[in-house]
A and B are shown apart, each in its own frame.
Chain A
Amino acid sequence: MALSRSAFEIRDAVRSGEASATEICRESLQRCDSAATTLNAFNLVTPERALERAAAIDRARAAGDALGPLAGVPVALKDNLCLRGVRTTASSKILENFLPPYDATAVRLLEAAGAVIVGKTNCDEFAMGSSNENSAFGPVRNPWALDRIPGGSSGGSAAAVAAGCVPLALGSDTGGSIRQPASFCGVVGLKPTYGRVSRFGLLAFASSLDQIGPFSGSVADSALALSVIAGWDGADATSTRTPVPDYTAALTGDVNGLRVGVPRAFVTEGVHDGVRRAFDAAIDTLRQAGASIVDIELPHARYAIPVYYLVCTAEASSNLARYDGVKYGYRATDAETLREMYSRTRDQGFGPEVKRRIVLGTYVLSAGYYDAFYLKAQQVRTLLRRDYEQAFERVDVVAMPTSPGPPFKLGEKTEDPLQMYLGDIFTVSANLAGLPGISVPCGFADEDGARLPIGFQLLGRPFEESTLLRAADAYERLARV
């Protein structure tokens, strides 16, 4: 499932004139159409707009203009990122005809760098899910095994990169929604530090946890993408003025002396044998390259699932109050009064998982339950953050599997939301603590005759993406040999 060309290679070929942005765009669009049919990876492919953009880049080159760092690189966007005038649905019936009046900041930065947006990818509705089965437009299939899920919620973006439609895609990660599908589809997925990338124009799910990040075929391409989309934005008060380094310059291939923390007790419980073997082998590879492996403890990590699902549903119940059938989106037509219109619009417009989370979030914020659930969860969130702060006094990165198992079969967990949630155990802490995290492919598990990708995860100190990317890139080089 190798990509034909990386983002770096495409950019260099377009700059040198060895390939035109238009040729590359046509090839990408063909693959997107094919993945839209076989994998249901796209909610929308945008050929006309993409070819116009590609032609503009070719004209700029012919005129001798300087070309941006992503010149001619085809990029797919998760369908919860606003693209002006292009249908953006969050895979929800309630937004099925929504045309954003503005671009998301990350999208604007990509286009300013020369990227060519080829389409909007399928995802779990409002990014709520771990399997991409909660989309109003049907599930995405895993390109490695069509009867299995690609992971979620950014399943379409992961599948589009894995299937070679695009070398780069954007997703959003609230509790693992970039890293887990990257792991399940055998690609790289990066969740930046909270505040590193502006969230303006990202349809909000849980505002204290959401963060936009890239998927790519290699660590280097994710570093390139992050260099473009990171930075302060006056439209997002949680974005930061911390300077943005050239992340690609950090990729030295050297991990000698890097201290890698492994929370042993935490990562052995309930983990699939194939995942554990691949993880142990990855740690061994880093050790052999000169990294020192340090046992650490994260005593509160086991509480991450309840804390996450109490916090994210509370925030979602508030964020999704805006979908009321008045200003945009779907409206129920059979209502006599305003109140009926709100209630029926929201029942008919939202899918089951979104309604379940809104009801749960409203419950934990309601009188009598706020202290016991919501406030308590926020206090335990503090304890979890402190665990990581203490760990990062002794180590430079923390390593763990991305997911406790390989990609599962479509329909396997849909009846039992709690079982689905428990699979997020290794990814949600990064969001609760605001840390950067990356998932890198580290092998395969064989199950029912299918070869299923496995990823492992590295977490870093806030705003130390460079260290994270350096370690991940070094591992990737060593694993490739």
Chain B
Amino acid sequence: MAASLTIEDVERVAALAHIELTDEEKTLFTRQLADILHYAEQIQALDTRDIPATAHVRMGDDAEREDQPRPSLTVPDALGNAPDGAPDAGLFRVPRVIGG
């Protein structure tokens, strides 16, 4: 399956990730990712029946704490890095959402 990674696969996945790749990038990534996936297929040979997955080495024994109310980011701080902030309105501006 991975060895037959196609340019359409790369286009589909790039669209899911919201990255508009150039044609050169699509061609290059298709070849490079096919190599990487082909190499990664060696793990398929291992027997992992009944082996639990490790998503994380520490599942948060110490994750719980008392809530402590404290000030959050101010609106000017939150908008300070926005490429198109509207500080007076307290908003982030973005291009047209509907009809795209």
Q: Which residues of A contact B (CB under 8 A)?
A: 97-99, 101, 194-195, 208, 232, 234, 237-241, 300, 303, 305-307, 309-310, 317, 321, 324-331, 335-344, 346-347, 350, 352, 355-356, 358-360, 362-363, 366, 369, 372-373, 375-383, 385, 416-418, 421, 432-434, 462
Interface positions, chain B 21-54, Cβ under 8 Å from A, are 21-22, 25, 28-29, 32-33, 35-37, 39-44, 46, 48, 51-54
B62 neighbours in A (Cβ, 8 Å) = 232, 237, 239-241
Whole-angstrom distance between the Cβ of A351 and the nearest chain B Cβ? 11
Secondary structure call for the B interface: loop
CB–CB A336/B46 < 8 A: no
CB–CB B100/A337 < 8 A: yes
CB–CB B57/A208 < 8 A: yes
Q: Does B13 interact with chain A (Cβ within 8 Å)?
A: yes
A330 neighbours in B (Cβ, 8 Å) = 83
B1 neighbours in A (Cβ, 8 Å) = 369, 372
A359 neighbours in B (Cβ, 8 Å) = 10, 13-14, 17, 19, 21, 29, 33
Most chain A CB within 10 A, of B1, B9, B18, B82, is at B18
Q: Which residues of B contact A (CB under 8 A)?
A: 1-2, 9-10, 13-22, 25, 28-29, 32-33, 35-37, 39-44, 46, 48, 51-58, 60-63, 65, 68, 73, 77-78, 80-84, 92, 94-97, 99-100
CB–CB A434/B10 < 8 A: no
B28 neighbours in A (Cβ, 8 Å) = 352
CB–CB B33/A341 < 8 A: no
Task: Give Cα A339–Cα B96 distance, bound, in whole angstroms.
Answer: 9
B77 neighbours in A (Cβ, 8 Å) = 101
CB within 8 Å for A338 and B58 given contacts A234-B65, A237-B63, A347-B22:
no
Interchain CB contact (< 8 A) of A339 among B14, B35, B100: B100
Task: Give Cα A359–Cα B44 distance, bound, in whole angstroms.
Answer: 21
CB–CB B81/A355 < 8 A: no
Task: With A195-B57, A385-B54 given, name 7 new contacts (CB 8 A).
Answer: A238-B60, A328-B81, A335-B95, A337-B97, A363-B13, A373-B37, A383-B48
Task: Give Cα A99–Cα B73 distance, bound, in whole angstroms.
Answer: 14
B81 neighbours in A (Cβ, 8 Å) = 97-99, 101, 327-329
CB–CB A317/B17 < 8 A: yes
Task: Give Cα A340–Cα B96 distance, bound, in whole angstroms.
Answer: 10
B14 neighbours in A (Cβ, 8 Å) = 359, 362
CB–CB B19/A303 < 8 A: no
Task: Give Cα A309–Cα B36 distance, bound, in whole angstroms.
Answer: 9
Chain A: which residue is nearest B17 at the CB level? A362
B32 neighbours in A (Cβ, 8 Å) = 356, 416-418
CB within 8 Å for A326 and B92 given contacts A376-B44, A378-B55:
yes
